[in-house]
Structure 1
Amino acid sequence: SFLNVFIYLAQLIITIYLYRVFHVHRVGKAALDSVKLKGRSFLTLKDFNAEEIKHILWVSADLKNRIKHRSEYVPLLQGKSIAMIFEKRSTRTRMSTETGFSLLGGHPCFLTPQDIHLGVNESTTDTARVLSGLADIVLARVYSHSSLEHLDKDASIPIINGLSDLYHPIQILADLLTLQEHYGSLKGLTLAWIGDGNNVLHSFMMSLAKLGVNLKVATPKGYEPDANVTQEAQLLSKQFGTKLQFLTDPMEAARDSNVLVTDTWVSMGQEEEKKRRLKDFHGYQITMQTGSVAAPDWTFLHCLPRKAEEVDDEVFYSPRSLVFAEAENRKWTIMGLMVCILTDYTPQIPKLKF
C-alpha cells in the first residue's frame, strides 16, 4: 500500500542520514587521531607533512561551507585573542585574519610598527614573553624570517608566519584550496611558476611534491630561488615521485602545465631595483600566448597586488583567472589554520579529494 511504501522510504532516508553522520564523524575522528596540529607554530610548510596540510584545507573548506554557504554562526574561537604584528603593509593578510578571527568569535589586535617595533623599543625575547601572557596566538608579517624564529623560540603560544623574506605559507594554503575547488583534486597537476624566485615560490617548493603536484620554475638568471630551499625541494620531489624543473624560458615552463603562476617582480623593500628588475624580467609577462602552449584546462593564479607587466588584462580578467577566488580563500584558509592550531575541531563535511 501507499502507507507501507511511505514508511519504507522514510526508514531508508533516516538510515542513509545516520550512516553519513556516523561515517563523517568516524573519518573525522580518525583524521584527528593521526594529525596533531593543536599548539603548533606555522612558520614554514617544510615542517608539515601531506596529511597535516590536507587536514588544514579540509577544516578550511568545512568552515567555508558552514559559514558562507549555510550562514551558520561558528564561534570556535570565542574568548580567544590574536596579536597581529605587521612590519609590512597588507590588504589580504590583515583583512582575512582580522575578519576571520572575529567571525569565529575571537578578538584580533592589530599592531603596526608604531605600536610594536620588534627588537627596537623592546627586545624580541621580551615581546614574545609579554604577548604570550596577553594573547592566545600571534601572526607576524615581518621582513626577516629570523624574527619569526626568534619569536617562536621565546613565546609559549603558537606563532603564524604572515609573510617573511623566506616564506609565505598562508598564501599557499589559499592557492591549494582554490585549485582543489577548481580541479576537484590536486594530484598529478603541473604548476608553472614564471617570475622571481621569491618567498611565495619557496613555499610552493616546500609543499607541492607532498601533494603529488609537479612544479616547473622559470626565472631569469640571477633570480633563482634560495639554494637551500632548492636542495630541500629536490629531495622532496625525489621522495614523492614528482617532477621538479628549473628553467629560464617562460614558454618552456608553461608548456603542458595546468596552472600558470606569477607574483610581483618588485617586492616591498626592492623599489630601488625596479628599473633593473623590469629590464631583467622582460619577456616574462603571462599572456594568452603563454597559455597557448599550456594544458587545455590551464588556469592562472597571482597572490596580488598585481602589476600589468606581470600579467596582461586579457589573462588577469579572463575566466581562466582564479585570482579573486584565491584572494577570498585567504580568509577561509587562515581561519582553518587558526582553528586547527587552537582547537580540536572535527570537520562536518566529508574529507576533500586530493
Structure 2
Amino acid sequence: MTNLLTRHLLTGAELSSPEMLHLFKLAQQFKQARAKGLTTPLLANQHLALLFSKPSLRTRFSFTVAMRELGGDVVESVSDHRKAEEPEDQIRVLAGYCHAVMVRTHADAYLTRMAQVSSIPVINGLSNNYHPCQALADMLTLQECFHELKNLHLAYIGDGNNVLHSLLLTAPRLGIKLHYCCPQDRAPLPHVVAKAVASAANGGSVVACDSPLAAVSDAHAVYTDVWTSMGFEGQVALDQFAGFQVNEALMKYARTDAVFMHCMPMQRGQEVSVTLPDKPCSVIYQQSENRLHVQKALLAALLSKQPIHSILTEEQYS
C-alpha cells in the first residue's frame, strides 16, 4: 500500500506538487514530535534495505535513524561486500526480505532497472544524475525559512549536477523561480531542463543566467554544490569554475534576508568561501537535519498502512 501515486522515487519528478506539500507537512509533524521526545511505531516490523555503491554520511545516518525512529529496522550492504549481480535479480531477492530499498549508486539505469520489476518501493539515495531526497529536504528548508514557497527566487551557482537536476524537477512545480548559472561545459542535461520548463507551475519558472551575479540578484536563497561530484574526481578541470565561488561579496547582491544553501560535503575555499558556511545566513545544517524528517515522511507515506492524512495523531505517540 502507498499513500502516493508513485511507488518509487528516482528523480523527484514522480511526486506531484500536492504530494510534496503533504510530505512537508508530515515532515514538520515528525520534526516537532521529535523535539518533544515523542516517537510513533508506524513502521513496526518493517525492514528497509540500504544499498551503497558510493560513500555516505548524511544519507546513511538519516535513513537509518528515520526508519528506526518509526519502529522499523534497516539492513545495510556496501558494494565492496556484494558480488556483481543483475539489479533485477537483486531487487527480487530483497523483496523477499524487506519492505523497501534505498539505493545510493552511480548509474541511473541501475535504479530504473530495479524499479521496473520491483514489488517494493525503490528510493534513490543519490545517483550520478539525481538526488531527489536532498531536493525535498531543500524545499522543506526553504518553506521553514520563508513560510511560502510560491514566488521564491532560488539561485543555483556552480556545477550542473545531480542536485541541480532534482532541484529543477521539484522547485519550479512548487512555484519557485529557479535561476541557475553554470560554466558552459558543466550545464545541466538539456532534457532535464526541458522537462523542468514544461512542468513549471504555480508561477514557478526556470531561467539560465549568463553570470552568477545575474542569477543571484534579489534571490531569497543562494545554493551551490561541490565542483567535482562524487565519482567524477579528476575528470573536471577546476579552472572552468573561475568566478563561480559563492562568497560574502556575491551574497550582497541577493536579498538582505537571503539564505545560503549547500547539500554538503563541501570544499571550503572552492565553491564556497571559507567563512560563508558559518555566517548567520547559512542554513546548511538545517538542510542536513531536514533529510531525516522528510525521509521519515517519505517512508511513512510509502509504507504505512494508514492513510497519510491520519498518520499522526496524539494517541500514536509515546
TM-score (norm 1): 0.84
Deviation at 1:50, TM superposition (A): 0.5
Matched, 1:250 2:217: no
Matched, 1:86 2:77: no
SS for the counterpart of 2:74 is: strand
SS for the counterpart of 1:114 is: helix
For 1:29, the equivalent position in structure 2 comes to none
For 1:176, the equivalent position in structure 2 comes to 139
Which among 130, 149, 152 is matched to residue 167 of structure 1?
Answer: 130
Q: 1:136 to 1:39 in 2, by over 3 A?
A: farther
Deviation at 1:90, TM superposition (A): 0.5
Counterpart residue identity of residue 61, structure 2: M
Deviation at 1:38, TM superposition (A): 7.4
For 1:110, the equivalent position in structure 2 comes to 76
Write the mapping of 1:289-300 to structure 2, written as runs, cut at 5 A: 289-300=249-260
Which among 213, 225, 240 is matched to residue 280 of structure 1?
Answer: 240
Counterpart residue identity of residue 208, structure 1: A
Counterpart residue identity of residue 88, structure 1: K
Deviation at 1:39, TM superposition (A): 7.2
Counterpart residue identity of residue 170, structure 2: S
Write the mapping of 1:35-74 to structure 2, written as runs, cut at 5 A: 36-37=3-4, 40-67=7-34, 69-74=35-40
Cα separation, 1, equivalents of 2:74 and 2:227: 31
Conserved 8 A contact 2:10-2:123: yes
Conserved 8 A contact 1:193-1:260: yes
Counterpart residue identity of residue 57, structure 2: T
Deviation at 1:348, TM superposition (A): 4.5
SS for the counterpart of 1:157 is: coil
Q: 1:56 to 1:324 in 2, by over 3 A?
A: same
Q: Which ranges of 4 or more aligned residues in structure 1 deviate by more than 3 Å?
A: none
For 1:9, the equivalent position in structure 2 comes to none
For 1:28, the equivalent position in structure 2 comes to none
Cα separation, 2, equivalents of 1:103 and 1:348: 14
Conserved 8 A contact 1:38-1:342: no
Greater CA drift, 181-190 or 256-265:
181-190
Deviation at 1:315, TM superposition (A): 1.5
For 1:263, the equivalent position in structure 2 comes to 225
Greater CA drift, 219-228 or 240-249:
240-249
Conserved 8 A contact 1:139-1:159: yes
Task: Indicate the structure with greater helix content.
Answer: 1
Conserved 8 A contact 1:85-1:116: no
Cα separation, 2, equivalents of 1:98 and 1:65: 19
Deviations 1:264-287 (A, max 9, x none): 10112222225x1x1000111111
For 1:12, the equivalent position in structure 2 comes to none
Deviation at 1:248, TM superposition (A): 3.0
For 1:5, the equivalent position in structure 2 comes to none
SS for the counterpart of 1:208 is: helix
For 1:207, the equivalent position in structure 2 comes to 170
Q: Tell me the matched-pair count.
A: 308
Cα separation, 2, equivalents of 1:191 and 1:334: 22
For 1:20, the equivalent position in structure 2 comes to none
SS for the counterpart of 1:256 is: coil
Contiguous gaps of at least 5 residues in structure 2: 314-318
Deviation at 1:144, TM superposition (A): 0.7
Aligned-CA RMSD value: 1.6
Cα separation, 2, equivalents of 1:220 and 1:38: 37
Conserved 8 A contact 1:209-1:236: yes
Deviation at 1:185, TM superposition (A): 1.5
Task: Name which one, 1 or 2, has greater alpha-carbon Rg.
Answer: 1
Counterpart residue identity of residue 295, structure 2: I
Deviation at 1:102, TM superposition (A): 1.0
Q: Percent identity?
A: 33
SS for the counterpart of 1:217 is: strand
Deviation at 1:63, TM superposition (A): 0.9
SS for the counterpart of 1:311 is: coil
Deviation at 1:314, TM superposition (A): 2.7
Cα separation, 2, equivalents of 1:269 and 1:169: 18
Cα separation, 1, equivalents of 2:97 and 2:72: 13
